[in-house]
Amino acid sequence: MYVGLPLLYILWMRRAALIRPWNIKTDENYTPILDVILPTYNEKEAILDKLQNLASLDYPRDLMQIIVVDSGSTDGTLQLERKFAEENSTLRMVVIEEEKRTGKASALNLGLSRCVGEVVVTTDAGDQWDSIVLRSLMRYLADPSVGAVAGVEQILNASQSSATRSEVAYRGLHDYIRLGESKIHSTLILHGGLTAYKRGVIDRFDDKHTGNDEAVAVDLVAKGLRCILIPEAKSRYNDYHNWGGKVSRKVTRAWALIYTLGRCIRLALKGKLKLPYSIFIPNLYLYLLNPLIGLFFYAFTILTILQYPVLLLPLVLLLILKPTRTYILAFVLHNAYLLLGIVDHLRGTKKHVVWKKVSEPNVNPEKHASLFVKSVVE
């Protein structure tokens, strides 16, 4: 139950991801007016590279507006943003100052109030996009049934530490799930660093509970729209290579995911969640039930090994192999983060609206660019 059922779902979604056709009418010529919202907070080291990346995208400048919302940065980020806007006057760019940091979703809502286009695209300061990424997203968003299109994340410092290697292993499997679900109907997990939404279907981002933009998928699915992941749209970033930052971010995301699934349950009970049960039920199992089953799994394993020590041998053999060890670590940690998120919910914790920013020393992405596992996007 703990390992086998999740593995079966991964294999099923992998098959769907690889061989199932898209039931979507794409349009290569669909180039709507769009707004890119970039929330920032103390991003001095990354902001100029990010703005230059946005300015170099293969999309008509007269059809794209960049809205930067700075949430009370204290390291000079705001000044760099304003200077870039002045020096690139041909770029349609708006810089908004939010005096008090109240969370990413709040900053996105402020940016949303200044949008003028038909499409809203969200991103983060640490993400770098391929030049054709907007055109890739738009061709799918042209279909009336699609409400949001997300890209995939690729980790630049993939081999830097056990923290980054385990994250790459996790995402290599996770992307198969999201892509398989997208081809069947919708995924409930979007990527805040690269997601495009039809502006007319978004009322606002949830700034009262999750403090993030990923929960929007539930609202769109409830409206009968599809939320999909496409493999050709890629966003690259440096992941946390120290465990302190990694755990903080993952537990925060787990809390938001569990809140989102709670909303799904409430909508399903009211008959308002227009999502196939073949996706809804496995998601409840993977992210809510399986972490709890894990407690019994580990207790049973420990008791069994104490009674039959010889069973420790195959476990040691599995852990000796680096690839196997990394996948095991990724699976165990994934469920541990979810369990901590569940505990937070049971305790009534509401501390995740404003994400804790964890600073780490600069890294050299090229030095750690070799991917540990082959991602579905390749």
Q: Give the SS3 label for residue 36.
A: strand
Q: What is the pLDDT of residue 280?
A: 94
**CA-CA distance, 296 to 294, in Å (whole number)?**
5
**CA-CA distance, 200 to 230, in Å (whole number)?**
21
Amino acid at 157: N
Q: What is the pLDDT of residue 357?
A: 59
Percent of the chain with pLDDT over 90: 62
Q: In the structure encoding, which two tokens stand for residue 268, read together?
A: 């399903």
Dump pLDDT digits (tens) for 143-187. Answer: 999 999 999 999 998 888 888 888 898 888 899 999 999 999 999
Q: What is the pLDDT of residue 358?
A: 54
**CA-CA distance, 367 to 171, in Å (whole number)?**
20
Q: Give the SS3 label for residue 22.
A: coil
Residue 374 has pLDDT above 70, yes or no: no
Do residues 124 and 203 touch, judged by C-beta distance below 8 A? no
For 253, phi and psi rounded to 5 degrees? -65, -40
CA dihedral (172, 177, 181, 187) in degrees, to 10, reads -80
Dump pLDDT digits (tens) for 121-148. Answer: 999 999 999 999 999 999 999 999 999 9
pLDDT bucket at 325, cuts 50 / 70 / 90: confident
Q: What is the pLDDT of residue 351?
A: 53
pLDDT bucket at 373, cuts 50 / 70 / 90: very low
> Please, what sign has the CA dihedral across residues 263, 267, 273, 276?
positive
Fold of 4-269: Spore Coat Polysaccharide Biosynthesis Protein SpsA; Chain A (3.90.550)
pTM value surpassing 0.75: yes
Q: Who has greater pLDDT, 241 or 36?
A: 36
Region at 271 (left for phi over 0; alpha for psi -120 to 50; beta for the rest): left
Q: What is the pLDDT of residue 354?
A: 58
Dump pLDDT digits (tens) for 294-320. Answer: 999 999 999 999 999 988 888 887 778
Q: What is the pLDDT of residue 344?
A: 87
**CA-CA distance, 306 to 321, in Å (whole number)?**
23
Cα atoms in the 13 Å half-sphere on the side-chain side of 85: 16
**CA-CA distance, 215 to 257, in Å (whole number)?**
8
> Please, what sign has the CA dihedral across residues 253, 115, 186, 150?
negative
Residue 287 burial by Cβ neighbours in a 10 Å radius (0-12, 13-18, 19+): buried
pLDDT bucket at 114, cuts 50 / 70 / 90: very high
Amino acid at 204: R
Dump pLDDT digits (tens) for 242-284. Answer: 988 888 888 888 888 898 899 999 999 999 988 999 999 999 9
Dump pLDDT digits (tens) for 30-86. Answer: 999 999 999 999 999 999 999 999 999 999 999 999 999 999 899 999 999 999 999
Residue 2 has pLDDT above 50, yes or no: yes
The domain ranges of the chain are 4-269
